[in-house]
Chains A and B, each alone.
Chain A
């Protein structure tokens, strides 16, 4: 087999793998599908047929059909539902926090101590987080691995908040704490991205064990 044929096989298999990842095919099944396809394309290349000629230009469509026919199960990440359930609650809570800050600063003589501010923030953040987690649990508890997901979110969301807050404040400082709409939008995007990242990470973490189980009909083969 020459280099061109090997390159064609690599390209085709990589393209198929990308499609299977998009479809959230379990990693173990993806590895098996990929190995089988590579073996078959290599056998064909040995007979002088390039992978690109064999599969044709629509590799994604081919990979989709292959996954469907193989009956592989998808990892039920359900990111969209999870994010749409968790983030509005967090956004509402964040707005609540923001509203709360403006109150105690007036009149200036009643300026609270730093410890009191931190304690207030912490309690409110905990309430916000708890509300969001309870909402996620009640609305999405039918999804697989949700107890683990909620636990992972409980761990990762405060971490994400703790990391994103100084970054957002630092950004706000560079623009003199402007209240201009584009600045506020960027600040919201920074916080939102961090929290969304934490939610996605929590879900992946919770489904890690679930995703590693291969479909029985794919794992059985003769050597």
Chain B
């Protein structure tokens, strides 16, 4: 697989899990938009940057999974910090279980072809 193909595949895999990862990171600690992008990068998710994450964050707020809180700062600009709502925590729990079942199934499938499927 070429690096380009690898990148595309990574993007496709992440597409279905990015909102869950964002919710998980916000459940650990509330963050503003750019801070969340940085945390996703630090986690090695390469989420596509602010242009992808910020609209998705806005959708999650529309769905009631996160809520924002404006924090005034005496030294810097005011910040809109996003945190997970009770509905968001509930949804994250459901998504986590679904993901674990999915990963278990995929792992089991791949384990049957650990030699690359050529043997």
User: In the complex, how many residues of chain B place their beta carbon closer than 8 angstroms to a beta carbon of chain A?
Assistant: 25
Q: Which 6 A-B pairs have the closest CB atoms?
A: A44-B34, A69-B59, A69-B55, A40-B33, A42-B77, A65-B55
B residues at A contact (CB < 8 Å): 32-35, 37, 49-51, 54-56, 58-59, 61-62, 64, 67-70, 76-80
Q: Is there a chain B Cβ closer than 8 Å to A190's Cβ?
A: no
Given A47-B34, A217-B62, A223 and B70 touching (CB < 8 A)? yes
A residues at B contact (CB < 8 Å): 1, 36-37, 39-40, 42-47, 49, 54-56, 58, 61-62, 65-66, 68-71, 217-218, 221-223
Given A68-B55, A69-B56, A221 and B34 touching (CB < 8 A)? no
Our pick among B35, B50, B70 for the contact of A222 (Cβ within 8 Å) is B70
B62 touches A71 (CB 8 A): yes
**For B32, what are the chain A residues with a Cβ–Cβ distance below 8 Å?**
40, 43
User: Chain A residue with minimal CB distance to B57?
Assistant: A69
The number of A-B residue pairs with CB atoms under 8 Å apart is: 81
B49 touches A54 (CB 8 A): yes
Separation of A62 and B50 alpha carbons in the complex (Å): 9
Separation of A70 and B61 alpha carbons in the complex (Å): 8
Separation of A221 and B58 alpha carbons in the complex (Å): 13
Name the residue among A36, A37, A43 with the largest chain B CB count within 10 angstroms: A43
B80 touches A70 (CB 8 A): no
B76 touches A40 (CB 8 A): no
**For B37, what are the chain A residues with a Cβ–Cβ distance below 8 Å?**
54
Q: How distant is A61 from chain B, measured CB to nearest CB, in Å?
A: 8
Separation of A42 and B69 alpha carbons in the complex (Å): 16
